[in-house]
């Protein structure tokens, strides 16, 4: 199987993830989109590693997984904190940083 197909798959997954982040108002869904983008990147890294026959990409993928795990904890905590404060998890609701 041609490894380049995994790269295409990664691009598609990344596009889906970013669409979820940009288009959905629900914070949980957007967050899932972020996870999807991270995993798309991981897939691309592993695919390139395979293409080039080097192990660097796979090592990098592990780092990303660790970071993603930590990020999930922090992200979900923020979402819960926002929900407790405002009784909503809509992304459009908090706009205090408007200049």
Applying CB under 8 A, the residues found at the interface with other proteins are 18, 21-22, 25, 30, 91-92, 94-99
User: Please, what is the minimum distance in Å from the beta carbon of residue 17 to other proteins?
Assistant: 11
User: Please, what is the minimum distance in Å from the beta carbon of residue 1 to other proteins?
Assistant: 26
Task: List Cβ<8 Å contacts ≥24 apart for 2-6.
Answer: 3/47, 3/50, 3/51, 4/47, 4/51, 6/43, 6/44, 6/46, 6/47, 6/50
51 neighbors 8 (Cβ within 8 angstroms) = no
User: Please, what is the minimum distance in Å from the beta carbon of residue 94 to other proteins?
Assistant: 7
Nearer to other proteins, 37 or 46 (CB): 37
Q: In this structure, what DSSP letter does residue 26 have?
A: B
Nearer to other proteins, 87 or 96 (CB): 96
Nearer to other proteins, 7 or 21 (CB): 21
């Amino acid at each position: 199987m041609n490894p380049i197909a995994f790269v295409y798959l990664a691009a598609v997954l990344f596009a889906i993830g970013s669409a979820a982040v940009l288009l959905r108002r629900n914070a949980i869904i957007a967050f899932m989109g972020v996870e999807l983008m991270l995993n798309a990147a991981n897939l691309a890294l592993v695919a390139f590693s395979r293409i080039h026959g080097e192990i660097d990409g796979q090592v990098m993928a592990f780092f990303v997984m660790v970071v993603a795990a930590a990020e999930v904890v922090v992200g979900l905590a923020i979402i819960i904190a926002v929900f407790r404060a405002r009784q909503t998890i809509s992304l459009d609701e908090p706009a205090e940083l408007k200049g």
